[in-house]
Copies of this chain bind each other. A is one copy, B any other.
């Protein structure tokens, strides 16, 4: 088994942090996404979508998408549960995880990709067939998403230690990776969001945060 990933980028970090919280070690293969190595024929032969992370099993089966990869490991190694402990909890974690993904991770990606010169021809993640000119208007839309993300986190973390309750879940992992990614676009948790600041310090201090 191996995980194709890119050390510097936020989506592979979600998978690495998830694995570290589970205590699972998977051999990592670096693909430099920033320099566009994910669009080279060598990687497109592995994943025609050009997406990272991509998991490869020993029998050659491969699949992409962070949540598909994390759910696979959650089934194989259910302890500690990171996707919820009951059907209702799992539904809530999935819903909140997607919220963190859309308003945090994807909104950040829209800001980053549509204003960074290195991504001027890469409006969307992935393979050459996704190469389209940057759309500067998406920067404002992304920033609005991140503002909603900040408001939501502060409201949730005023009520509970973690975003989905009293234990760390994938919601926190996605949100932490999004918050740290936003530093690239010079956006930080507002200083007045004291609950989110408390949460960020606590989650950042876990060994998995530097996995």
Contacts and interface: CB of A to CB of B under 8 A. Distances in A.
Given A132-B140, A138-B135, A141-B132, A75 B87 contact: yes
A58 B138 CA distance: 40
Contacts of A92: 61, 63, 68
B129 A141 contact: no
Interface in A119-141: 123-124, 129-130, 132-133, 135, 137-138, 140-141
Interface residues of A, number: 37
A94 interface: yes
A138 B137 CA distance: 10
A88 B65 contact: no
Given A135-B138, A141-B124, A144-B130, A68 B88 contact: no
Interface in A58-92: 61, 63-65, 67-69, 71-72, 75-76, 87-88, 90-92
A7 interface: no
Most buried by B among A64, A68, A132, A140: A68
Shortest beta-carbon contacts, A-B, top 3: A68-B94, A68-B95, A72-B91
A22 interface: no
The secondary-structure label for the interface of chain A is helix
Contacts of A49: 99
Given A72-B87, A72-B91, A132-B140, 7 more contacts: A65-B95, A67-B98, A68-B91, A123-B141, A124-B145, A135-B141, A138-B138
A148 interface: yes
A19 to B, nearest CB: 14
A57 interface: yes
Nearest to A72: B91
B65 A94 contact: yes
Contacts of A137: 133, 135, 137
21 contacts: A63-B91, A63-B95, A64-B95, A65-B99, A67-B94, A68-B92, A68-B94, A71-B91, A72-B87, A72-B90, A75-B87, A75-B90, A76-B87, A123-B141, A124-B145, A130-B144, A130-B148, A132-B141, A135-B137, A135-B141, A137-B137
